[in-house]
Amino acid sequence: MKRQILVALLLLLSVSSYSQSANDQLLLRLQAISSNGTDFYNIDGIEISNFAVSTTFSKKTIAKKFKLYHIKEAELLHSDSTIQQPNYYVEKNVEIAPNIIQHATYYFVETSNGVNGIAFSAINKRDKALEKELLPLILNNQIPRSQYEKLTVDSIDFAGRKMKLGRSCRWMGVANMQCPSDGQMNWSIHATLEDAKLTTENQFQVIQSKKQGKVIAEEQVDVLFEGTEVKAKRVVYDFKGVTSLLVGMSGGKTLTIYFVAAPVRQNFVSCVMSFWNNDEINPSGLPILLEQVMELKK
């Protein structure tokens, strides 16, 4: 009997250790910010949002209280049996351009305080296993506060490296930083290089499909990204003759964009960096924000 108890205990400890290790690996890739009561996450090129509403759990209240997700009562048909609490989930796949599918999954889960609405969104992919890993961590408030970046920017964690920035920089979204006149970049941390490359290619396809302008130049260039020699795709996007709020605010006519996927420390990073033709461009050929992570090879 004692031997059976010992074996059971060892198995329990082994499972617990494996679970903790898996969570640690996941948290190495997870980035987060919190704004106006909503938590935003980014991992593996997937955008996630979570916000709670103090309300009763019903189809009617979900459709009414979570209008941001544009979910109708008639769409609340399915529940996930792996989630212990009462819940509904909705899957939506929208073709936003030829061969570009926006995959979104919405979970509405009853909690002791009301209802949580959690959305997963990505281009041309859905990772059900990742959703199952993250859902209990989010619902049980097990995401460490150390994962969250401060909204007031002074320095940020860039894939495991502390990066000093000026206070004029601001978050445009989770893992999406803009520094006026000094460039903008968004990034995601991935478990594999293949997934990082896929994410940058998907972002290029989305930009190329937009009607606000057109790609007038495209080439592969050699760069050092976080100290690693890689190829980057450099694109020049022309806004001439286009009237939009974005162009009006920047005053620029062309946007130079770099798409990079590279190994960075323990993981892999996809990164899209851009700057306007009238930004403050240094002799390196880059504005200061992009210089923080990338160097153009001569």
Model pTM?
0.88
Question: Cβ neighbours of residue 236 under 8 Å, at least 6 residues apart?
Answer: 215, 216, 217, 218, 254, 255, 256, 257
Q: Quote the CA–CA distance of 192 and 269 in Å, as a whole number.
A: 9
137 three-class SS = helix
Domains defined along the chain, listed by start: 23-147 (3.40.1000.10), 171-296 (no CATH)
Q: What are 56-91's pLDDT values in tens digits? A: 999 999 999 999 999 999 999 999 999 999 999 999
Q: Quote the CA–CA distance of 59 and 42 in Å, as a whole number.
A: 28
Q: What are 4-30's pLDDT values in tens digits? A: 665 555 555 544 444 455 578 899 999
Q: Which amino acid is at 184?
A: Q
The number of angstroms, rounded, from the C-alpha of 147 to the middle of its chain's C-alpha atoms is 13
Confidence (pLDDT) at 23: 77
